[in-house]
């Protein structure tokens, strides 16, 4: 059973998947920092010094100064500011993946072999597949 597991774990696609997950986790941290530390402060400043992570709505009608204070008090809250940050992070990751896949597809098209020339054509009368160089259809004997 150990040999079978080892052969499964050492297959190329499993290792590629593990590398992808590790790089994805690191990329997620970079994206989260980009959104919370670089993009949101200027956006909050433009919108009147709003800190999106601090935006919340309490469902019990009581007022709390901060989201942390509301959560500490056990109040039910909708933290829509954190949700806005998460949506922006998702859009950045989705756009980065789109650009990456687009570039990979472009490179694959550049390095792909040209399509092979056709070796057969269709007979105009019976529509059978015949060699390109044929002058007569072998199925219906039409001259080509």
Sign of the alpha-carbon dihedral angle for 125, 127, 133, 136:
negative
- If DSSP codes are grouped into helix, strand and coil, which group holds residue 10? coil
Into how many domains does the chain fold? 2
| Overall size of the chain counted in residues | 144
Average model confidence (pLDDT) across the chain: 84
The answer as to whether 1 is a domain residue is no
How would residue 50 be classed by pLDDT, with cut points 50, 70 and 90? low
Residue (of 97, 101, 144, 90) closest to 121 by Cα position: 144
Is residue 50 domain-shared with residue 95, that is, in the same domain? yes
Is residue 31 domain-shared with residue 49, that is, in the same domain? yes
Is residue 95 domain-shared with residue 131, that is, in the same domain? no
The answer as to whether 2 is a domain residue is no
pLDDT at 77: 92
Is residue 88 domain-shared with residue 67, that is, in the same domain? yes
Query: Is the model's pLDDT at 117 over the cut of 80?
Result: yes
Is residue 131 domain-shared with residue 94, that is, in the same domain? no
Residues of the domain holding 128: 117-144
Give tens-digit pLDDT for 72-114: 999 999 989 888 888 887 888 788 778 888 998 888 888 877 8
Query: Is the model's pLDDT at 49 over the cut of 80?
Result: no
User: How far is the C-alpha of 97 from the C-alpha of 91, rounded, in Å?
Assistant: 10
Q: List, as own/partner pairs, every contact residues 25-29 make where C-beta atoms lie below 8 angstroms and the sequence separation is at least 24, other chains included.
A: 27/93, 27/96, 28/89, 28/93
């Amino acid at each position: 059973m150990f040999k079978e597991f080892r052969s499964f774990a050492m297959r190329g696609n499993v290792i590629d998947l593990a590398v992808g997950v590790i790089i994805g986790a690191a990329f997620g941290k970079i994206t989260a920092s980009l959104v919370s530390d670089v993009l949101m402060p200027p956006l909050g400043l433009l919108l009147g010094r709003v800190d999106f992570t601090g935006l919340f709505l309490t469902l019990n009608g009581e007022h709390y100064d901060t989201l942390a204070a509301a959560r500490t008090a056990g109040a039910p809250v909708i933290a829509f500011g954190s949700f806005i940050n998460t949506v922006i992070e998702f859009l950045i990751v989705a756009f980065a993946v789109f650009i990456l896949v687009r570039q990979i597809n472009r490179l694959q098209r550049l390095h792909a072999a040209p399509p092979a020339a056709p070796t057969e054509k269709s007979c105009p009368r019976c529509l059978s597949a015949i060699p390109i160089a044929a002058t007569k259809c072998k199925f219906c004997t039409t001259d080509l």
